[in-house]
Structure 1
Amino acid sequence: MANRKVALACSVCGSRNYTISSNPNRTNRLEVNKFCKHCGQYTLHQETK
């Protein structure tokens, strides 16, 4: 069985730049500062469903 992938979306422009494996034990959405190539800066990226 393959792992499900979840996208990380930029909180500023909304583009989905990164994918991660979903974790069923995670209760809250993951929030990480990542570089957004569309904004050109480090912004908060949130897990999407």
Structure 2
Amino acid sequence: MAAKKVALACSVCGSRNYMVTKKPNRLERLEVMKFCKFCGQHTMHRETM
């Protein structure tokens, strides 16, 4: 069985740059500072459904 994945979307431009595995014990949305290649800077990325 394959692991379920969710996308991380940039909070500035909204592009979905990164994919992470969905963890069943994570109750809140994951928020991570990542580099967005479309914005050209480090921005907050949030887990999308």
What is the RMSD of the two structures over their aligned residues, measured on CA atoms? 0.3
Match of 2:8, SS state, is strand
Q: TM-score, normalised by structure 2?
A: 0.98
Q: TM-score, normalised by structure 1?
A: 0.98
Unaligned runs of 5+ in 1: none
Which position in structure 2 is the counterpart of 1:6?
A: 6
Instruction: Output the CA distance in 2 between the equivalents of 1:5 and 1:39.
Output: 24
Unaligned runs of 5+ in 2: none
Match of 2:27, SS state, is coil
Q: How many pairs were matched up?
A: 49
C-alpha deviation, 1:29, in angstroms:
0.1
Amino acid of the structure 2 residue aligned with 1:12: V
Shift >3 Å, 4+ stretches:
none
Which position in structure 2 is the counterpart of 1:42?
A: 42
Which position in structure 2 is the counterpart of 1:22?
A: 22
